[in-house]
Structure 1
Amino acid sequence: MSRRASSYDESDVRIRPGKGSRPRTKTRPAHDDAREAMVVSVDRGRWGCVIDGDPDQRVVAMRARELGRTPVVVGDQVSVVGDLSGKPDTLARIVKVADRTTVLRRTADDTDPFERIVVANADQLLIVTALADPPPRTGFVERALAAAYLGGLKPILCLTKSDLADPAEFTRAFADLDLPVVLAGRTEAVDEVAAMLAGHLTALIGHSGVGKSTLVNRLVPDAERAIGVVSGVGKGRHTSTQSVALPLPGESTRLGWVVDTPGIRSFGLAHMVPDDIIDAFGDLRDAIEDCPRGCTHLGPPADPECALDELTGHSYRRAMAVRGLLAAVSGHGGDDEASTDEPVTP
């Protein structure tokens, strides 16, 4: 050992400071002062929320760190803390997302296994379809019905441009599904539609050009202004790829909300299996218990022993209508249409 080295002792060694002996706690704040809110808009890491469902108590919120990458979508019931004044440039925090009662899902196409949540906690799905210009296609309605049944939403078929074509022929295809049908053409008042939406959170879907935006503006007269308010959440602006919840007019906050879902280019159902659709109908759900293992319920020749063929009366007619849904969404027949061809406005 050299003379130079021997002159050092432990006091000459630089010790790197540690992270401390105090262990990091996993305990998170209880947030006992959190307020309940509903998410009405989403824009790049910022969520527009209304406190206690009151449209006049709007806040902009970020997702709290403890939530990680927990998805938060329009319709979610959340707990928020922080600055709840709603003043410009203020920011609250979402600290909890409540369990969802329903979920409307889709995939990009029928080969994409990744599910996208369109809206949470909606109890109704208003499927807006024009009877002409563009001509109606059963494929889109069938897919929307399948998604509604799977997600636990009550579907309603809303027909526009009824002054251009008779709705009887188109609606005949869905008669045995007990599907409510309402007309909302330019010559019809929207009172019936509004009555069906009152007290509910209803998601609206439809093709470009079917009159959905016109219907939204008739239901919510200040919809354009409202969209500007709920989507101005601090980091961007509303685009047609974002869902937005709008309150129906009235004095009570329980009058209902409509969720406008423009910009959906496709309505794939890769996440769905036949039993998901059939489970929506009690009589059919009981019947398929007698089906052989692996039955797809599509009937002969693929499933010669399908128990649905043994039904009678209205149950049989309903089974055949549901079989049409299964054929459409599985690509084995029907007016299949995975894409809604909805253009996105830049």
Structure 2
Amino acid sequence: MSWLADDDNEYDEFDEDLIRVRPNPKANRPRTKRRPAHEDAQEGRIVGVDRGRYSVLMAEDADDERFITAARARELHRTPIVTGDRVRVVGDTSGEAGTLGRIVSIIERTSLLRRSADDTDQVERVIVANADQMLVVVAAADPEPRARLVDRYLIAALDAGIRPLLVVTKTDLADPSDFLAHFDGLDLTVFTSGRGHVPLHDIGEHLIGHSTVFVGHSGVGKSTLVNALVPGAERATGHVNQVTGRGRHTSSSTVSLRYRSATGSGWVIDTPGVRSFGLGHVDPTHLLSGYPDLAAIAKNCPRGCTHLVNANDCALNEARAAGELSQAQQARLDSLQRLLDTFNERSS
């Protein structure tokens, strides 16, 4: 049928068959949220992160380790990918120079160690994934040990379901007995190290079969210990400023290193030294998990007890008033209540 016009020069009918429609498959394609299945993806382990590029171990056979460089796929958006993550990778996974794989998904994590800038900041900083142990490194002197910083490490570890260990270095400079008394009663394995005595074998035996994240204040000898345990690690070491008493940041990134011995292997995850460790991301009700001996006493507290200094009928306060707490327990209770005060102020 053709167009028909009347005397008023208007169209009486319109034949749609005469309209020419330009094909545009892309515009006409229905939108979908389905993503590629990536059935050919291979599993790998993140061992290092550097400016948007990820070092991935694709084969964990001790005789055939293959490392590649990979980038984040667009579908992951801003999902954090951290050292220790198990991931699925597609693309070029040969590991040859100039090649680049693509990380398309993160395998479910077994643990996640986090910290915040301070106790009032609830924005978490992810440190490492899938670690099952934390080795806290502290010096007996130079710099002076900080029991409250170690308390924070322990709380973060226990909150994440990670077993804590403690190493005290530089025991040739000072006796760590008074410092270690602060942790009496805790289920905490402790190693001591000094000039001429570094228990590498004993520490190494606790690393076998585990993924252990090393944490510590700058200048305590953490990177020196890592280098001794993992020959060839070449982690940068520094010194303590004699004026400020602070260590200089040396390790600037978190990396996973393979620990090997005649009896087995494990992973050592070295982190940059920190001078503070915020717990703003931790649920205040979980703080007692860092003090198992106090938690046992707190079971006698009334429901909803805040455990603060002025809390009525608090079993912890009553035990202190009755002289039933050891000196170390009193010090830990002071530390706990300071943390609880901080969280109480944050929520008010």
* TM-score between both structures, scaled by the size of structure 1: 0.78
Deviations 1:183-210 (A, max 9, x none): 1323223111111112111111111221
Question: Which residue is 1:90 aligned to?
Answer: 99
Aligned equivalents of 1:97 and 1:266: distance in 2? Answer: 29
Q: Which has the higher contact order (CA 8 A, sep 6+)?
A: 1
Conserved? CA contact 1:274–1:297, under 8 Å: no
Conserved? CA contact 1:156–1:181, under 8 Å: yes
Are 1:306 and 2:314 an aligned pair?
yes
Conserved? CA contact 1:38–1:51, under 8 Å: yes
SS at match of 1:323: helix
Conserved? CA contact 2:185–2:293, under 8 Å: no
Conserved? CA contact 1:139–1:328, under 8 Å: no
User: Unaligned regions of 5+ residues in structure 2, if any?
Assistant: 1-8, 237-249, 343-348
The 1:32/1:215 distance shift into structure 2, 3 A limit, reads: same
Are 1:247 and 2:258 an aligned pair?
yes
TM-fit CA distance, 1:63? 1.3
The 1:54/1:261 distance shift into structure 2, 3 A limit, reads: farther
Letter in 2 for 1:23: P
TM-fit CA distance, 1:135? 1.4
Larger CA Rg, structure 1 vs 2: 2
Alignment partner for residue 295 of structure 1, among 299, 305, 315? 305
Are 1:214 and 2:224 an aligned pair?
yes
TM-fit CA distance, 1:14? 10
Alignment partner for residue 128 of structure 1, among 128, 137, 156? 137
Letter in 2 for 1:269: L
Map 1:229-268 onto structure 2 (within 5 A). 240-250=251-261, 255-268=265-278
Question: Which residue is 2:29 aligned to?
Answer: 22
Pairs aligned (count): 312
Alignment partner for residue 32 of structure 1, among 27, 39, 42? 39
Deviations 1:31-77 (A, max 9, x none): 22222211111112111111243572111111112222211111111
User: Unaligned regions of 5+ residues in structure 1, if any?
Assistant: 227-238, 333-346
Map 1:153-192 onto structure 2 (within 5 A). 153-189=162-198, 190-192=200-202
Question: Which residue is 1:270 aligned to?
Answer: 280
Aligned equivalents of 2:287 and 2:222: distance in 1? Answer: 26
Letter in 2 for 1:244: V
Conserved? CA contact 2:251–2:272, under 8 Å: yes
Question: Which residue is 2:79 aligned to?
Answer: 70
Alignment partner for residue 45 of structure 1, among 41, 47, 52? 52
Letter in 1 for 2:74: R
* TM-score between both structures, scaled by the size of structure 2: 0.78
Conserved? CA contact 1:297–1:323, under 8 Å: no
